[in-house]
Amino acid sequence: QVQLVESGGGLVQAGGSLRLSCAASGRSFSSYAMGWFRQAPGKEREFVAVIDWSGDSTRHADPVKGRFLISRDNAKNTVYLQMNSLKPDDTAVYYCAAGLSLTMSNRQLVQYWGRGTQVTVSS
């Protein structure tokens, strides 16, 4: 099994930045694609970004493209989401996720979920 624990969320003003971290434990972290999803109240959980097992390929959802950047450090079993130019619409619970490939941008293909960390962006 893989356990995922997010950290780094909090309250930030619009235009500010946060860096989320997801620490993974368990089996073969480096074999998994890793991603971030988010869910605002009353909305479905939506894809944010994904990175392949090697860190060589990434994909970012259109609303965050150019503002957010996913990265990973396999030596530390950690995936990051650098969030810049934050907007109030970015307010959500952010979830770390693990799957087999970049196709896990489809949330139905996610194998493991973290419990989430709250990001609140004030206007």
- pLDDT, tens digit, for every residue of 44-73? 999 999 999 899 999 999 999 999 999 999
**29-32: long-range contacts at Cβ-Cβ below 8 A with a sequence spacing of 24 or more?**
29/2, 29/74, 29/77, 30/74, 32/2, 32/98, 32/99, 32/100, 32/111, 32/112
- pLDDT, tens digit, for every residue of 70-96? 999 999 999 999 999 999 999 999 999
Average pLDDT over all residues of the chain? 95
- pLDDT, tens digit, for every residue of 99-123? 999 899 999 999 999 999 999 999 9
Look at residue 28 and tell me whether its pLDDT is greater than 80: no
